Amino acid sequence: MEFKDLSEKEQNLVIASKYNLLRDNAIFLKNKGIEACRDDDRFDLKGMKITDDAIELIESGIKQLIDYRGLSFDRSFEDLTVGGFYYFMYMFRFERRRQLATDFKTYTMDSMLMKNSVTGDEMWLANKVAKISDEEIEKFKKKE
């Protein structure tokens, strides 16, 4: 997916949120590999344990970032899980500032305001996940 293929609304979201800075880092990480980026200040990988499951998650997340996923409910991230999403975004030095979950019949749309801990830039991102139980929501509320 190229920028020019996005709707005007989505292009405006990319520009306003500086999404391309995050996307460029995803492309860099994809091209160089995780181990080559461990000491790169664009990422927070130094103490991170990278399992085979984590590699699958990272590869999926990178592909979705490059395809401009996460911009809205219509272009949300998918199949990252709530915890997987935070793990993935932490690598790019993003932390959660605010979270809103919207339940639908078969899934939950998790919307998060994420803040880059280095630049201070903030952006809303959407992550479509399997329906989240009330118990799971309470668990994440306690982490705040």
Long-range contacts of 91-99 (CB under 8 A, 24+ apart): 91/29, 91/43, 91/44, 91/45, 91/48, 91/58, 92/22, 92/25, 92/26, 92/42, 92/43, 92/44, 92/116, 93/42, 93/43, 93/44, 93/117, 93/118, 94/22, 97/122, 99/140, 99/144
Residue range 79-87: mean pLDDT, rounded? 90
User: Has residue 144 got a pLDDT over 70?
Assistant: no
pLDDT of res. 143: 62
Read off the pTM: 0.86
Query: With bands split at pLDDT 50, 70 and 90, how would you rate the model's confidence at 47?
Result: confident
Handedness of CA 75, 85, 49, 122 (dihedral sign): positive
Three-state SS at 115: strand
Three-state SS at 144: coil
pLDDT, tens digit, 9 for 90 and up, residues 107-141: 989 999 999 999 999 999 999 998 877 787 677 66
pLDDT of res. 79: 86
pLDDT, tens digit, 9 for 90 and up, residues 4-31: 889 999 999 999 999 999 999 999 999 9
What is the percent of the chain with per-residue pLDDT over 70, rounded to a whole number? Answer: 96
Greater confidence, 144 or 104? 104
